[in-house]
Amino acid sequence: MNRENAWTTYEEADIKALEGLCKEYKDFLSNGKTERECVAQSIELAKKAGYQDLEELIKNQTPLKAGNKVYRTWMEKTIALFQIGEDAIEDGLNILGAHIDSPRLDLKQNPLYEDTEMALLDTHYYGGVKKYQWVTLPMALHGVVVKKDGTKVNICIGEKDEDPVVGITDLLIHLSGKQMQKKGNVIVEGEDLNVLIGSKPLKGEEKEAVKKQLLQLFDEEYGIEEEDFLSAEIEVVPAGKARDFGLDRSMIMSYGQDDRVCAYTSLAAMLNVEAPKRTSCCILVDKEEIGSVGATGMHSRFFENTVAEILALTGDYNDLRLRRTLQNSYMLSSDVSAAFDPNYPSVMEKKNCAYFGKGLVLNKYTGARGKSGSNDANPEYIAQLRKIFDEAKVAFQTAELGKVDEGGGGTIAYIPAAYSMNVIDCGVAVLSMHAPWEIT
């Protein structure tokens, strides 16, 4: 049952290919710190690989045939790609799914205020975070502001070398006697995650002169006024690029690897597929970190609706054909796994946990407290996957997320499984999951 470390199996050509993929992956991470930025990059890569916008084909009622490649996005925050196979679509799709949202701090709708001649932005954290990890770091602002006339202003401040950064202060150790006695979950509290953005008053102003100076700057640089924050999505994320980690450069450190490490690799695999027998699909979704809700999360009808559109362009659409297509599908639902950490061995059961270097992690089930909330993959399906992986010399391992009753977590897998298709959780092992800087 011991699985070999993949590094020891690689030839020189494999290492070269790996380095190439990792370079592109790091670029994807550095340029994709929000769902929208990941979707924009995915569209660009898809177009280069010969994918067409499905909306155009729907508008012109252009029929789809084997070999055709299409993509469709929704609200700029989720994307689905399809390559039509030779087999009838009702025989099912081969689907790769992952999520492109990551834990972060979102600006509140009314975020800007001044206190003691300092200007701050109020936030509401998104996803599960250890709040004390998000202070004293250089942070960047990414997102969009949509004005009443519909114009959209893209914001990205803090990534270029010459850009300023922002961030959240922490109490100095000298005065932290009381703070250090607190429990971990209240050392830094959610309402105190306020981002410091300025301290220079506007000349000639008496009241809120620092805030006014910043509002003037927003107007000059972006043409936005304070009320425009009401219709904005601005995410506060760690500033800086993805980079090699370890003196041997065997790892990558970056913000947002949960779950962009699975999203990027799924996308890269999809774009490399040529003339598949079964129709191939890759779906990258939003909102996983808060329960896969909303119009762009996996629970949305977007995926089902898009498969319906594909069916309509490949013959007659009918409800039975849609249901058959979905139930006959197979899916690798990929999300990060907790890697074994030598600093914290007590939370892991060593025979059933994920390790760096041992390949794709298959999780038959996830969940918490007796597998609750899990998609429990069928052994018949796992047997097929083992065979495929072994024959293609794909390194894989199997794992659970920590010891029984130690904690737990969920993914998107159970949602498409509700169509009665075969789905398994799998993914890449990560250290410091949900921290500002994660390691794969």
Q: Which is nearer to Mn ion, 114 or 286 (CB)?
A: 286
Segment interacting with Mn ion, rule: CB under 5 A, options 252-260, 293-301, 321-329, 368-376: 252-260
- How near is the Cβ of 326 to Mn ion at its closest, in Å? 23
Residue 228 main-chain phi, psi, to 5 deg: -65, -20
Instruction: Please report, for residues 32, 266, 286, 404, the alpha-carbon distance to residue 27 in angstroms, rounded to integers and kept in the order given.
Output: 8, 16, 20, 37
Site string for Mn ion, 112-151 (x = CB under 5 A): ----------------------------------------
- How near is the Cβ of 277 to Mn ion at its closest, in Å? 30
Residue 286 makes contact with Mn ion by CB under 5 A = no
Q: From its phi and psi, is residue 192 left (phi > 0), alpha (psi between -120 and 50) or beta?
A: alpha
How many Å apart are CA 285 and CA 79, to the nearest integer? 7
Q: Which is nearer to Mn ion, 90 or 258 (CB)?
A: 258
Q: Which is nearer to Mn ion, 114 or 335 (CB)?
A: 335
Q: CA angle 77-102-47, nearest 5°?
A: 40
- Is the dihedral angle over the CA atoms 261, 265, 268, 270 positive or is it negative? negative
Q: Which is nearer to Mn ion, 20 or 407 (CB)?
A: 407
Task: Respond yes or no on whether the N-terminal peptide bond of residue 192 is cis (omega within 30° of 0).
Answer: no
Q: Which of 259, 309, 400, 425 binds Mn ion (CB under 5 A)?
A: 259
Q: Which is nearer to Mn ion, 77 or 278 (CB)?
A: 77
- How near is the Cβ of 434 to Mn ion at its closest, in Å? 6
Q: Which is nearer to Mn ion, 259 or 286 (CB)?
A: 259
The tokens for 339 are 């890697």
Tally of CB atoms within 10 A around 293: 13
How many Å apart are CA 383 and CA 388, to the nearest integer? 9
Segment interacting with Mn ion, rule: CB under 5 A, options 69-77, 111-119, 134-142, 256-264: 256-264
232-238 and 139-146: which strand pairing?
antiparallel
As beta bridge partners, residue 121 has: 112, 195
Residue 101 makes contact with Mn ion by CB under 5 A = no
Taking alpha carbons only, the member of 290, 270, 268, 272 closest to residue 280 is 270
Segment interacting with Mn ion, rule: CB under 5 A, options 76-84, 250-258, 320-328, 396-404: 250-258
Q: Which is nearer to Mn ion, 54 or 100 (CB)?
A: 100
- How near is the Cβ of 259 to Mn ion at its closest, in Å? 4
CB-CB contact of 325 with 92 (8 Å): yes
Segment interacting with Mn ion, rule: CB under 5 A, options 49-57, 171-179, 208-216, 329-337: 329-337
- How near is the Cβ of 185 to Mn ion at its closest, in Å? 18
Q: Which is nearer to Mn ion, 37 or 335 (CB)?
A: 335
Residue 258 makes contact with Mn ion by CB under 5 A = yes
Angle, helices 35-48/12-31, rounded to nearest 10 degrees = 130
Taking alpha carbons only, the member of 30, 130, 142, 24 closest to residue 432 is 130
- How near is the Cβ of 35 to Mn ion at its closest, in Å? 13
The residues in 330-359 that bind Mn ion, with binding defined as CB under 5 A, are: 335
Q: Which is nearer to Mn ion, 57 or 429 (CB)?
A: 429
Q: How many residues bind Mn ion (CB under 5 A)?
A: 3
- How near is the Cβ of 100 to Mn ion at its closest, in Å? 10
Q: Which is nearer to Mn ion, 313 or 430 (CB)?
A: 430
Q: Classify residue 127 by its DSSP letter.
A: S
- How near is the Cβ of 332 to Mn ion at its closest, in Å? 14
Residues 6+ apart with CB under 8 A from 119: 112, 113, 196, 197, 198, 199, 210, 211, 213, 214
- How near is the Cβ of 299 to Mn ion at its closest, in Å? 15
Segment interacting with Mn ion, rule: CB under 5 A, options 133-141, 195-203, 204-212, 327-335: 327-335
How many Å apart are CA 172 and CA 106, to the nearest integer? 25
- How near is the Cβ of 334 to Mn ion at its closest, in Å? 9
Chain positions contacting Mn ion, by CB under 5 A: 258-259, 335
